[in-house]
Structure formats: structure tokens, C-alpha cells
Amino acid sequence: MELAYIPSPSHGVLYLGPIPLRGYAFCIIIGVFIAVWLGNKRWVARGGRSGTVADIAVWAVPFGLVGGRLYHVITDYELYFGEGRDWVDAFKVWEGGLGIWGAIALGALGAWIGARRRGIPLPAYADAVAPGIALAQAMGRWGNWFNQELYGRETHVPWALHITSSEGGRVPGYYHPTFLYESLWCIGVALLVIWADRRFRMGHGRAFALYVAAYCVGRAWIEYMRVDDAHHILGLRLNDWTALIVFLLAVAYMVVSARKRPGREAVVEPGVSDGGTAGAEAATEDAAGEGTVARAADGTGDGTGHKAEGTAEEKDGGKAAVKAADDPRDPADADAVPAKDEAESAKKS
């Protein structure tokens, strides 16, 4: 008798009247919202405008979904085009089957289109959304739990996943919950990227490359544990080879980028960060101009920054003007004081 295990849901879909509510789709949608929310916070912190991440995601997300489905269908084509299979099933995304490699590749193309339309450098955008993408993957893996798929080898550990469905060649039993392993790994990747980005101020796409490299490391050992059907090359599953190649490319990019373009972008969105700098410089120039005019007016400068030597009379006149300006009495009253003094002197004489 198993004392502890992770139960599988009896149904992966609930019906609200005639409308099906699928757990797999909910996990994908929630993951997208998490990625956009966190990406927006990081983008604003980098000096971008709030809402830009969501605007570009309108392009990236559909491209990513199409890319993920294409990768899955191409690498597992026998599930849809083999003998006795229905090719229409290739369009049933809600039944599971999104390859992260295709999702990232085609999603990047969509993001490039959206970023280009906004005049934004794609590497800066990728750095901002990288941890959010990892968290979206962590959430999306729970969709595999709803569908009772992509589990590992049989095990009797306390956290074993209890598979109850026998559809699609499944054998009920207790298996390694690889969906949970990958979900936890993706959360760790997100935290790693956030920490490294703060610690080393990563820019020009290096934070995104770190996310890719770290994810590939985890995906390699998790993929090795899975027991679902997959193509093998030289004894390794296809996704293991993909993870190895992508890992090497990501590391190479980080090294080359750090040498050619060290540091971080000063401006990530035109009209936001650079606009503020230009405004500050203009204000500084205006202040300098006003100071020059003031020096020319009070006799301490000639309007070009050179000191002017004033005569004693000019200085005395300036002092009198200041004293008159400080006198709280009305100017007319001030002029009347000397006349009053002269009248009193005439009476005494």
C-alpha cells in the first residue's frame, strides 16, 4: 500500500454547460500572464514604458504557440500521419504537445517583429522577459499533470505520480513526476537569472542566454528520465541532443557578447529614457544661459563669460540700487524725505 503519492486528476477538462474548460489551456494562459506581468516590471525598471511588453507579446505569443506545435508535430509525426492516425489531430493543441524549442524559436521571431515596429532592441526585450518565460514554463508543465502525460520511470518514492489512465498506451502505476521536476527547475532558473542580472548587470541578450543555458541543463537530465516514445540518435533522445546543442550556442553567445558589447544598454526604449536625458541637458543649458545673462546685467560679466572691471561709481550705484530695492517704503515716499529735511533746516536758520 502506497502511503504517499501525487494523485492525478480524474478529468483534465471541466464543462461549463457546453463550454469545455481544459486544465492544459488554463496552465498555458496563466503562464503567459505571469510572463507578461514580470516582464513588464523588469522592462519599466530598465527604463522602458509600461505596456510595451504586452504590446510585443501580442506578436510573440501566437508565434510561439504555432512554433511549439510545429516542433512537436514534426518530431512526433508518426502520432498524426502514421497508419491509422488522423492528421486532423495535429491541430488539437488542447490535447497537449508543445515543444519548447519551437516555441522559443518562432516566438523570438514574433517578438522581433513587434520590437522592430516599436523601434526597440530585441536583446534588451529578451533580457527583460527571460525570467517570466521560465516561470511560464513552470506553470505550463502542470498542464501535463492534467493530461497525465510526460512522466518518468516507475518508482516508489513518496512523491511518485499516480497514473490512473490507460488511454494512449498508458499503464496505470506510480512514476517519477518529471512534470514537477521540470516545473521546480524552471522556478530555480527564473531566480538564477534575476539574481545574476542584478549582480552582474547583464545586458545585450546575455540574461536571456543564461536562461536558455540553465534550462537546457535541467531539461537534459529530466528528459533522460522520461519513458514516453521519442526518436533516439546514438542512444540519446532527440530532445537531449537539442538541449546540448542549444546549451553550447547559448554559452558561446554569452562569451562573445560580453567581449564585444560589455555592460548594459543605457536606453531600451526611444522616447522614454533618452528623452529624460535630453530634457535634463536642455535644462542645464538653459540654466547656464540665464546665469550668463544675470552676470552681464549686474556688471560681473560681459555676456561671454569674461569678468568685467567696474568703476567705483558703478559699484556705488549698484549698492544704492540694492539698498533702494530693500527699502520697504514706497518710492514716492523715499523721494519726499530729502525735501522734508530741507524745509526743517530752513525754519531753524
Query: Each residue of 49-107: pLDDT tens digit?
Result: 999 999 999 999 999 999 999 999 998 888 888 787 888 888 888 777 889 999 999 99
Chain centre to alpha carbon of residue 142: 23
Q: What's the CA gap between 54 and 59, in Å, rounded?
A: 9
All three cell numbers of 5, joined, read 503519492
The alpha-carbon radius of gyration of the chain (Å, integer) is 35
Residues 6+ apart with CB under 8 A from 31: 135, 136, 137, 138, 139, 140
DSSP H or E segment with residue 141:
none
Asked if the model's pLDDT at residue 340 lies above 60, the reply is: no
Asked if the model's pLDDT at residue 29 lies above 80, the reply is: yes
Which pLDDT belongs to residue 32? 96
- Cell 521540470, located at residue: 182
Q: Is 72 exposed, middle or buried (0-12, 13-18, 19+ CB in 10 A)?
A: buried
Output b/e per residue, 208-229; b: 16+ Cβ within 10 A.
bbbbbbbbbebbbebbeebeee
Question: What percentage of the chain exceeds 90 in pLDDT?
Answer: 57
Q: What's the CA gap between 312 and 344, in Å, rounded?
A: 33
